[in-house]
Amino acid sequence: MQPFREIFWNIGYHYVFYSLAALATGICVYGLLRRWQFWRSGWREKRDGGFDPGLVLRRIFLNTSIFKGDLLGGITHVCIMWGFIILFFGTALSTIDHWMITYLRGDLYLAYAFVLDVAGVALMAGVALAYLRRYVFKREKMVTIARDHLVLALLFFIALTGFMVEGFRLRAETLPWREPSPVGQWIAGVSGMSVPQALAAHRLWWWIHAAASLFLIAYLPFSKFIHVFAASVNLTLEGLRSNSYLSVEEREALKSDFSFRHLVMCDACTQCNRCAVVCPSSIAKEPLSPRKVIDETGRFVRRKGGFGLVPRPGETSLAKAGAVAGDPVWFCTTCSHCQRECPGAISPMDVIREIRAARVEGGEDVPVNIQEMLESVYKFKNPWQGAKGKRMDWASGLDVPVLSEGAKESRCLYVGCTFAYDSRLQEVPRSAVALFRAAGLPFAVLGKDEACCSEFIRGVGEDGLFSELASGNVDAFDRHGITEIVTPCPHGFHTFTNEYARMRPSMKDRRVLHVSQALETILASGALALENRGERTVTFHDPCFLGRRNGVYDAPRNVLRSIPGVRLVEMARSREKSLCCGGGGGRMWVEAGEGEKIAEIRVREAAGTGAGTIVTACPFCFSNMDDAVKTAGFEGRIVVKDITELVAECLPGRKAG
């Protein structure tokens, strides 16, 4: 006789099981359809293309994002996920064998039985590791809530009762072959039951196991398990480069506060808290928790949409939503570290941006400084209340070619507001001019035609003003025939490369460079000869909008390594793990209040490298850390430099700063 397994061996009342199975399946399907309906209630995001199916599949099925920086978490998740998947499909294969095609016989059955045993052990081991990770080797700030215990306990119970059913069957049934089920064989051996006792125990635990399994199926769409589907959808959408940029006109026609993907994110979150571990605001003990924003936003939209929860009194709009009201949403620096760290590619900063947009549109809970900044940009085309006629003061005495005054040039040096109006930072564009001239690189500036890039305007949710300023800048680029834009500001670099390109097709044909990329090319070509100004140890602070948001890490480092006498050392958190300075997302106009200053934390990290100079490539980073050097007690020991002025100091004949 070939080895096989009788599906309903020792079990009667099959109709009861099938009735319960049909009920559980119906509840599951209903729940999944409701979830899909919930997601579909959001507006559709646009797609930028560039889908990488290999990357998406690796992240979904191999959990590569979970393993990164969390080996124990990766092993735990793989054990639970694949243990569950194999057991689920094992049950499905058994059903097919019973009702459709008989094929689980002989060696194939023996292999099948052994694999299911291994999967059961993996599932139980994964659950055990999950508890170790929560209570023994606890990840920083990890949060465990009641429904986590229910899910984990249910998984463990299903695997355990499955082994008990198998063990009691092997104890009661005499087989002419040895079942390749080590756990079941062990239970059969240690139970010490007589055959009648084993038969009774087998029937009892078979029904308990079946009931628990069917309950899991019915509970799945309403539990934390929904993340299995939601995270897969969200990872696919990220792979499609889904983005939430819409024109003002498109937004005015919306009937939902959030997009399809935003709603998927709310269901994809498992509350693992990895986002909070890397969030600069959370690190500084400010009131923002990205995890809570996603959780509470999900609760709000489900209440509002009537998806199983009762709306709170007066909770009619996102701007008035009690769950996400108040200051915390204004503490986000839009550094994107949360999204990069999240295994499910959830982006709390995108959800926060939509909440901010609702606040701005409704005129509620908007910090006074943000309101004043927006008013300044509206009146003066810059956030610093600088007169329009003073935008070129930085270039005094340089005889810079100005496009608005008749100069003809296809390469534009876009200076940006902070570099143009901050007296200390005006040295940066002046240094860029000196370097370009020394390298023989032709360029011109926009002059009075230059307006704020408006990156942080979009970041705080003022889409109408963003659209107006962006259109004006693109019109200026078009009017002057600009084909290449070089800017020392990562915020302008990001906005021209990403947001403007989505808004106006003509931007896609322009080359946009951060000044560090231009300097990298110039120095590699040998067009600049630099002098040694003495041995210096420097550390580079990666601006979020240059690094994480746009992947530019090597260019500034290659530039620093090209400077004679400069030794580059890295901070513990660098490149994609760099800690934000705290200036993005409109944070330059939001008072921190409680907690530490983010920039002071960063300066202390820099001091730990032994470097005497912190080099960055962003006006906000420069300002924040230059202030933090003083407030953290490092004045006279550490100086802050922009990479452009550091290079310019080494030009032959130029006085070092």
| Strand order across the beta sheet in which 484-487 lies | 411-413, 484-487, 511-514
Question: What does the alpha-carbon distance between residue 640 and residue 66 come to, in Å, rounded to a whole number?
Answer: 36
Question: What does the alpha-carbon distance between residue 187 and residue 179 come to, in Å, rounded to a whole number?
Answer: 13
Least confident of 519-523, 579-583, 594-598: 594-598
**Looking at residue 447, what is its pLDDT?**
93
**Looking at residue 311, what is its pLDDT?**
47
Q: Exposed, middle or buried, 230 (CB in 10 Å: 0-12/13-18/19+)? A: buried
pLDDT digits (tens, 9 = 90+) for 296-342: 888 888 887 776 544 455 555 565 554 455 678 899 999 999 999 99
Instruction: Please give the C-alpha separations between residue 248 and each of 45, 251, 357, 361, 465, in angstroms, as whole numbers.
Output: 14, 5, 11, 12, 9
Band of pLDDT at residue 608, cut at 50, 70 and 90? very high
Question: What does the alpha-carbon distance between residue 495 and residue 589 come to, in Å, rounded to a whole number?
Answer: 19
Mean pLDDT of 11-35: 92
| Strongest mean pLDDT among 40-54, 309-323, 483-497 | 483-497
**Looking at residue 309, what is its pLDDT?**
47
Question: What does the alpha-carbon distance between residue 196 and residue 648 come to, in Å, rounded to a whole number?
Answer: 90
Nearest to 655 by CA among 531, 523, 537: 531
Mean pLDDT of 172-176: 82
The answer to whether 509 and 629 are in contact (CB under 8 A) is: no
Question: What does the alpha-carbon distance between residue 164 and residue 190 come to, in Å, rounded to a whole number?
Answer: 11
**Looking at residue 656, what is its pLDDT?**
57
Band of pLDDT at residue 44, cut at 50, 70 and 90? confident
Band of pLDDT at residue 563, cut at 50, 70 and 90? very high
| Domains of the chain as residue ranges with CATH | 14-230 (1.20.950), 241-366 (1.10.1060.10), 376-522 (3.40.50), 526-648 (3.40.50.10700)
Question: What does the alpha-carbon distance between residue 544 and residue 66 come to, in Å, rounded to a whole number?
Answer: 22
Mean pLDDT of 453-459: 93
Q: In whole angstroms, how large is the CA radius of gyration of the chain?
A: 30
pLDDT digits (tens, 9 = 90+) for 502-512: 888 889 889 99
Tell me the two tokens of residue 129: 């590791």
The torsion angle over the Cα atoms of residues 648, 653, 656 and 657, rounded to 10 degrees, is -70
Residues in the chain: 657
Least confident of 52-56, 153-157, 317-321, 606-610: 317-321
Cα angle value 564/566/570 (rounded, 5°): 145
The values of phi and psi at residue 41, to 5°, are -70, -15
Band of pLDDT at residue 178, cut at 50, 70 and 90? confident
Band of pLDDT at residue 150, cut at 50, 70 and 90? confident
Tokens 């962003």, located at residue: 618
β 46-47/242-243 pair status: antiparallel
Nearest to 543 by CA among 574, 513, 569: 574
The torsion angle over the Cα atoms of residues 382, 383, 388 and 390, rounded to 10 degrees, is -110
Instruction: Give the DSSP H/E element, type plus range, for residue 117.
Output: helix 106-135
pLDDT digits (tens, 9 = 90+) for 226-238: 888 999 999 888 8
Is it the case that residue 565 has pLDDT exceeding 80?
yes
**Looking at residue 315, what is its pLDDT?**
52
**Looking at residue 102, what is its pLDDT?**
85
The answer to whether 266 and 297 are in contact (CB under 8 A) is: yes
Is it the case that residue 484 has pLDDT exceeding 60?
yes
Instruction: Please give the C-alpha separations between residue 520 and each of 2, 114, 310, 535, 561, in angstroms, as whole numbers.
Output: 71, 58, 58, 21, 10
For residue 254, the 8-state DSSP code is -
For the chain, the farthest-separated pair of C-alpha atoms sits apart, in whole angstroms, at 102
**Looking at residue 132, what is its pLDDT?**
84
Tell me the two tokens of residue 26: 């119906």
pLDDT digits (tens, 9 = 90+) for 51-78: 778 878 888 888 787 887 778 888 988 9
**Looking at residue 54, what is its pLDDT?**
83
**Looking at residue 638, what is its pLDDT?**
95
In one-letter notation, the amino acid at residue 218 is A
Helices (H), 608-655: 619-631, 643-648
Band of pLDDT at residue 148, cut at 50, 70 and 90? confident
Mean model confidence pLDDT for the chain = 88
**Looking at residue 8, what is its pLDDT?**
81
- Identify the bridge partners of residue 537 per DSSP, sorted by sequence position: 567
Choice between 96 and 241, residue whose per-residue pLDDT is larger: 96
Distance of CA 259 to the CA centre of its chain: 16
Q: In percent, how much of the chain has pLDDT > 90?
A: 57
Question: What does the alpha-carbon distance between residue 291 and residue 275 come to, in Å, rounded to a whole number?
Answer: 7
Question: What does the alpha-carbon distance between residue 279 and residue 346 come to, in Å, rounded to a whole number?
Answer: 13
Question: What does the alpha-carbon distance between residue 449 and residue 473 come to, in Å, rounded to a whole number?
Answer: 8
Question: What does the alpha-carbon distance between residue 586 and residue 442 come to, in Å, rounded to a whole number?
Answer: 34
Tokens 């986002």, located at residue: 275
Band of pLDDT at residue 1, cut at 50, 70 and 90? low
pLDDT digits (tens, 9 = 90+) for 510-560: 999 999 999 999 999 999 989 998 899 999 999 999 999 999 999 999 999
Tell me the two tokens of residue 411: 């390469």
| Strongest mean pLDDT among 37-51, 102-116, 377-391, 546-560 | 546-560
Mean pLDDT of 140-146: 63
The torsion angle over the Cα atoms of residues 457, 461, 462 and 466, rounded to 10 degrees, is 50
pLDDT digits (tens, 9 = 90+) for 180-204: 888 988 998 898 899 999 999 999 9
Is it the case that residue 657 has pLDDT exceeding 60?
no
**Looking at residue 634, what is its pLDDT?**
94
Choice between 382 and 176, residue whose per-residue pLDDT is larger: 382
